[in-house]
């Protein structure tokens, strides 16, 4: 049970830090709304629902990237990551805590993005919300691991999108599919499968990513 206590403590630390410094979350919110406005101008007038849905998912992906890029900067700047790694907690607890933090941020961003989308483009159905929630799990899981990898490299912010985008193509397929197809069950199921596979993989391999 100390495992989950560790996770809770770490996650709470991240969220409290963000509440105090208020740099990442407002940026994500502003970014996603700006992106949606830009998309309005980049879509031709007879664009289909599929096109605007696709653009929403792209906006969500890049908003996630924005948040993830900051996920480990605080630790790296304060050299806290080494301390965390030496702490008597399972390394994978760090991953779980970080992912939960990212999940919360993504959730808040989407709480703003989806109403904005409904305002600018078209109605938001339950399938879109369900798909977004499921996708968040996968994006947070995979993104946290990749952010840790990028943080260990010299290229950092440059590297994260390169690592992230190929891996999350299935999430985009699942998300857009669930929104536009008549029978979203298969796509939601696929998103759940993605989440399961990559969450387990990320959880198991995180300790190798942060180990020296």
Partner 1 sequence: MSLRNNQAVLLATAASVLLVAGLALALFWAPEDADQGFSQRIFYVHVPIALTAYACFGWAAWKALRLLWTREPRYDLESYTAVHMGVIFGILTLVTGSIWAKISWGVWWTWSERQLTLFLVLFLFYCAYFMLRFSVESGPRRANLSAVYALFGVALIPVSFLAIRLAENFIHPVVFTRDGPQMSGSMFLVFCVCLAAMLGLFASLYTNELTGKRLDARLRELREAVE
Which residues make up the interface to partner 1 (CB under 8 A)? 50, 145, 149, 152-155, 158-159, 162-163, 165-167, 169-170, 173-174, 176-177, 180-181, 186-187, 190, 193-194, 197-198, 201, 205, 208-209, 211-212
Distance of alpha carbon 98 from the chain centroid: 11
Running DSSP on this structure, what letter comes out for residue 142? H
| Cβ proximity to partner 1, 31 vs 187, nearer residue | 187
Q: Do 137 and 199 form a contact (C-beta atoms < 8 A)?
A: yes
- The helix (H) or strand (E) run that includes residue 30 is helix 24-42
| Cβ proximity to partner 1, 69 vs 177, nearer residue | 177
Of 129, 125, 131, 110, give the one whose Cα is nearest residue 25: 110
Q: C-beta of 144: minimal distance to partner 1 in Å?
A: 13
In degrees rounded to 5, what are phi and psi of residue 182?
-65, -40
Q: C-beta of 119: minimal distance to partner 1 in Å?
A: 24
Distance CA 126, CA 18 (A): 30
| Cβ proximity to partner 1, 15 vs 193, nearer residue | 193
Running DSSP on this structure, what letter comes out for residue 71? T
Q: C-beta of 149: minimal distance to partner 1 in Å?
A: 5
Q: C-beta of 33: minimal distance to partner 1 in Å?
A: 26
Q: C-beta of 206: minimal distance to partner 1 in Å?
A: 8
Distance of alpha carbon 209 from the chain centroid: 19
| Cβ proximity to partner 1, 9 vs 162, nearer residue | 162
| Cβ proximity to partner 1, 16 vs 169, nearer residue | 169
| Cβ proximity to partner 1, 15 vs 207, nearer residue | 207
Q: C-beta of 22: minimal distance to partner 1 in Å?
A: 30
CA distances from 37 to 33, 57, 74, 180 (A): 6, 14, 30, 21
């Amino acid at each position: 049970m100390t495992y989950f206590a560790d996770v809770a403590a770490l996650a709470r630390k991240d969220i409290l830090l963000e509440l105090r410094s208020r740099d990442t979350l407002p940026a994500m919110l502003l970014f996603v709304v700006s992106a949606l406005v830009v998309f309005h101008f980049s879509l031709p007038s007879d664009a289909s629902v599929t096109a605007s849905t696709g653009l929403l998912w792209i906006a969500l992906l890049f908003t996630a990237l924005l948040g993830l890029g900051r996920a480990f900067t605080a630790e790296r700047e304060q050299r806290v990551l080494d301390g965390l790694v030496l702490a008597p907690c399972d390394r994978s607890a760090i991953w779980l805590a970080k992912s939960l933090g990212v999940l919360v941020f993504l959730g808040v961003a989407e709480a703003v993005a989806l109403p904005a989308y409904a305002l600018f483009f078209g109605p938001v159905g339950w399938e879109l919300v369900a798909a977004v929630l499921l996708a968040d799990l996968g994006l947070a899981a995979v993104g946290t691991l990749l952010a840790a990898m990028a943080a260990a490299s010299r290229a950092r912010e440059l590297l994260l999108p390169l690592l992230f985008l190929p891996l999350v193509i299935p999430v985009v397929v699942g998300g857009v599919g669930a929104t536009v197809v008549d029978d979203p069950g298969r796509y939601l199921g696929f998103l759940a499968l993605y989440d399961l596979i990559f969450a387990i993989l990320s959880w198991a391999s995180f300790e190798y990513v942060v180990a020296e």
